[in-house]
């Protein structure tokens, strides 16, 4: 079965540094998402992306965050200046025309 | 805005027995999707089962079935013949059909322990 692939699985960074989380969605999918889960809490929506633009974003997705699909296969989430509270598991997901979302295994981001 | 509530933070079940996980939601929409996701210790989110609100028939996937009560806005998950591999966090989630919102709204999750 096709998979959503996320790299790296773990990322440690210093507060104030920029990080880029990478995702390779399933190849024929059209919709792409980022979610995050702070340890012990619910999974929260960050942003959805369709047709090379953001289609929806949450209040969490402020100016420090950006997404990009640079080459037609990768889908990246950039955090410009990380804060301690950005520490979380970040999940990429993709979907085709159906409502079924396929999630990646996540990137655990630790901000020190 | 839609909300999803999972009021039981933890449950346990004996191997081979049946357990029901509860979920309620709040929405003013008439058509939507509901999902149950499983999150094992590896933390990957795995889709267990989904239900379309316009369908009256409850969804079933092997040992997993739902009891969807639209009027009560209730969406419970029944796991039959529980197995050790079923131990995980389970999240209930809602997704709109109308209005263009594609996001999933998750509940807080429930930790299921399966005892041998």
Q: What is the mean pLDDT of each run of 10 residues along chain A (112 residues)?
A: 89 97 93 92 92 92 94 92 96 87 94 96
What gap in Å lies between CA B66 and CA B57, rounded to an integer?
A: 10
> Which residues does chain A have within 8 Å of residue B101's beta carbon, measured at their own beta carbons?
56
- A91: chain B residues, CB-CB within 8 Å: 45
Contact A2, A29 (CB under 8 A): no
d(CA A101, CA A42): 17
Q: Which residue in B has a C-alpha nearest to residue A47's C-alpha?
A: B103
Q: What is the mean pLDDT of residues B34-38?
A: 96
Residue B1 is predicted with a pLDDT of 80
Cis, peptide link before residue A66, omega less than 30° from 0: no
CA B113 to chain centre: 16
pLDDT digits (tens, 9 = 90+) for B60-107: 999 999 999 999 999 999 999 999 999 999 999 999 886 666 789 999
* Rounded CA separation B40/B52 (Å): 25
Quick one: pLDDT at residue B43? 82
B11 touches chain A (CB under 8 A): no
Q: Give the pLDDT confidence score for residue B83 in this predicted structure.
A: 97
């Amino acid at each position: 079965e096709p998979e959503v692939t996320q790299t790296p699985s773990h990322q440690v960074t210093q507060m104030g540094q920029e990080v880029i989380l990478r995702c390779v969605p399933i190849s024929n999918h059209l919709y792409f998402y980022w979610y995050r889960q702070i340890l012990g809490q619910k999974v929260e929506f960050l942003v959805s992306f369709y047709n090379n633009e953001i289609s929806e974003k949450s209040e969490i997705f402020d100016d420090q965050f950006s997404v990009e699909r640079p080459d037609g296969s990768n889908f990246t989430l950039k955090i410009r200046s990380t804060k301690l509270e950005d520490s979380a598991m970040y999940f990429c997901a993709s979907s085709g025309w159906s409502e079924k979302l396929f999630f990646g295994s996540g990137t655990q981001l630790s901000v020190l | 805005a839609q909300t999803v509530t999972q009021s039981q933070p933890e449950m346990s079940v004996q191997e081979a027995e049946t357990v029901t996980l509860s979920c309620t939601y709040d929405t003013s929409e008439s058509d939507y999707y509901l999902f149950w996701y499983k999150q094992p210790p590896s933390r990957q989110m795995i889709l267990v089962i989904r239900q379309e609100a316009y369908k009256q028939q409850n969804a079933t996937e092997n040992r997993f079935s739902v009891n969807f009560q639209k009027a009560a806005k209730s969406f419970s998950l029944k796991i039959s013949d529980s197995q050790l591999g079923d131990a995980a966090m389970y999240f209930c989630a809602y997704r709109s059909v109308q209005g263009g919102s594609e996001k999933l709204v998750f509940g807080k999750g429930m930790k299921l322990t399966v005892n041998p």
